[in-house]
Amino acid sequence: MYCDNIHLSKRETITNGAKYDFFIYNMLSLESKFSDGKWGKGDTVISKEKDFLMLDQETRKKLDVKLRCSKKLDDAMEGIDHLEAKKVFKKCIKELESSGLLFRKKSKSSRKAKPKKPVSPT
């Protein structure tokens, strides 16, 4: 159950007059684990990757998950060392997905269009 996870916090806010609830997952310990201490410390930022969901146990709704990662890793994913940084980030995501905490949003391009019903001649 996610309530026992110290790296996860739920935020409730109002945005443009509408209630907006989301989770923030702190990935610093995973970053440190997968990068052998290179990343996972220092200042933190919310990752630019925002296509993840989590099931809220209280409301039974799927809520957005924002990933808090180290600023060093976030900057490295766009810098010179981007291959290694992206590899570490993907390992963190796979770890969270395999534990059942996260799942990806389905993008509009990956959704299959519903087949049209054939028109019957009258």
What single string gives the DSSP state of each residue in 14-29?
EETTEEEEEEEEE-HH
Of 1-15, 27-41, 58-72, 84-98, the one with minimum mean pLDDT is 1-15
pLDDT digits (tens, 9 = 90+) for 24-58: 999 999 999 999 988 888 999 999 888 888 888 88
* Structural domains of the chain, count: 1
The structure's pTM equals 0.73
Tell me if 115 is assigned to some domain: no
User: Measuring CA to CA, which residue among 84, 63, 64, 61 is closest to residue 72?
Assistant: 84
Residue 69's domain comprises 2-104
Tell me if 110 is assigned to some domain: no
pLDDT > 90 in the chain, percent: 29
pLDDT digits (tens, 9 = 90+) for 85-104: 999 999 999 988 888 778 88
Tell me if 65 is assigned to some domain: yes
Tell me if 12 is assigned to some domain: yes
Tell me if 117 is assigned to some domain: no
Q: How does the average pLDDT of the chain come out, rounded?
A: 82
Tell me if 11 is assigned to some domain: yes
Tell me if 120 is assigned to some domain: no
Tell me if 121 is assigned to some domain: no
